[in-house]
Amino acid sequence: MTAGIVDTSITGMTGRVRRRVDELLADFLDARRPPVGDPDVAEGYRLLREFVVEGGKRIRPLLCYWGWRGAGGETPHEDRAVTTGAALELYHAGLLIHDDVMDGSELRRGRPTIHRGLARAPRWPEAETFGRSAAILLGVLAQAWADELLADATVGDVRGRTARELFNRMRTEVVTGQYLDILAHTRADADVEQALTVIRYKTARYTVERPLQIGAALAGAPPALLEAYSRFGLPLGEAFQLRDDVLGVFGDPAVTGKPVLDDLREGKRTVLMAHAYARARGPERDLLRTWHGDPGLDERRAAELRQVIVDTGALDEVEELIALRAGQAIEALRDQTIAPEAARALAVLTERLTRRVR
C-alpha cells in the first residue's frame, strides 16, 4: 500500500462519515415536529434545523469516529460511533447558539446568528428581546435533543455507559470553561494563565480530547488508550483554539464566516491578546486598553491593534505555542495503542486544524 492510496482511503472515510452525520442529523430533525400548530414555532424549528444541518465542520463527529477506529472499532458497528458523533454535533449547535447570545455576535458561518435572525418583531427593543429569548430556547432544545440521540446510541452496555459518563463530564467542563471565559471579561487586563485554562476546558477537552475518548469508549478502549488520546487531544485542542484566535484577528472573513472585527470589538480575552497586554508598554498599552473591546472599533483602529500585536511579538509567541503543541500532538500519535490507520487520519486532522491559512 503506498502513502497516496492510504491518504485517499482516509479522505474517503472522512467524507463518508461527514455525509452520514449530515444525513442522520437531517433525518432526526425532520422527525421533530412541534407539538403545537403555530407557523412561527414551526419557523423556529426550521431555523434550528438549518443551523445544524447546513453548517459546521463536523470536527467532533470526525474525532469521535477516529477515536473509535483507533480503539479497534470495526465497520459493522459503525452506526453507534456515527450517531454519537451526530449527538456531539447537535449539542455543539446548542452551545454555539447560546455563545452567540452571550457574545452578542451578529454573524456565524456567514449568516445571521440565530438570535439576530429571529429579531424580527414589529418593534425594537421587543424584537431584540424576542430574538435573544428564542435563541436561549432553541439552544436548550438542541441540547435536550442531543441528549436523546446520545442515549439511543449508548444504551445497553458498559461501553455505552462509559461513553455517556465521558459525555457528562464534557458538558460540565465546557460550561465551566465558558463560565471562566465570561468571568475573564469582568476582570482587569487579560491574563495568559487564565486564558490558557479557558481554552483547555472550553476547547481542548471539549472539542478534541472528549470526542476522541467517547468514540474510544464505544469500542471498549482500555484506560491506556484514553490516556494516549488525552496526550494527543489536549495539545491539539489548544493549538486549534490558538489558531482560531489568530484567525479571529488576522483571518479572512470569507474563510472564517465571521466579521474580522468581532473578536477585537468584543474584547475577547484570548491567549493572543493576553500576550499583547503582557508585553505592551506606554502608548501601545494605552491603545490596547482604549480600543480592545470597543464596539465602535473601525478598520483603521483595528489595523493599529494588529500592529501592536505584531510589534510586541505576541503573534510570534502564539505561532510558537501552536507549533509546539502541534508537535506534541503528532508525537503523542506514535503511541502503539492507537491503531495505525487512525493515527494517520489524526495526523492529517492535526495539520488541518492548526495550519496557517493567511
196 binds a second copy, rule: CB under 8 A: no
Position 176 contacts a second copy (CB under 8 A):
yes
Set of cell numbers at residue 144: 435536550
Which of residues 201, 229, 240, 277 is near a second copy by CB under 8 A?
201
Q: Choose between 20 and 132: whose C-beta lies nearer to a second copy.
A: 132
Q: Angle 43-49-52 (CA atoms, 0-180°, nearest 5)? A: 145
Closest CB to a second copy among 5 and 158? 158
Q: Which is nearer to a second copy, 48 or 260 (CB)?
A: 48
x/- track of binding to a second copy for residues 125-164 (CB under 8 A): -xx-xx-xxx-xxxxxx-xxx-xx--x---x-----x--x
Is the CB of 117 or the CB of 251 nearer to a second copy? 117
Q: How far is 343 from 66, CA to CA, in rounded Å?
A: 8
Q: Which of 277, 288, 272, 287 is nearest to 321 (CA)?
A: 272
Nearer to a second copy, 66 or 206 (CB): 206
Q: Is the peptide bond before 283 cis (omega within 30 degrees of 0)?
A: no
Distance from C-alpha of 221 to C-alpha of 295, rounded to nearest angstrom: 48
Please tell me whether residue 345 binds a second copy under the rule CB under 8 A: no
- Check binding of 112 to a second copy (CB under 8 A): no
* CB nearer to a second copy: pick between 124 and 254: 124
Q: Give the CA-trace dihedral at 226, 66, 156, 27, to 10 degrees.
A: 150
With CB under 8 A as the contact rule, which of the stretches 81-89, 180-188, 249-257, 303-311 interacts with a second copy? 180-188
- Is residue 289 a contact residue for a second copy (CB under 8 A)? no
Q: Which segment (39-47, 214-222, 225-233, 282-290) binds a second copy by CB under 8 A?
A: 39-47
Binding of residue 235 to a second copy (CB under 8 A) = no
Out of 76, 122, 282, 283, the residue judged to bind a second copy by CB under 8 A: 122
**Closer CB to a second copy, residue 74 or residue 193?**
193
Residue 241 near a second copy by CB under 8 A = no
Q: Confirm or reject binding of residue 40 to a second copy (CB under 8 A).
A: yes
Q: Which residues bind a second copy (CB under 8 A)?
A: 32, 34-36, 38, 40-41, 44, 98, 101-102, 121-122, 126-127, 129-130, 132-134, 136-141, 143-145, 147-148, 151, 155, 161, 164, 168, 171-173, 175-180, 182-183, 185-186, 197, 201
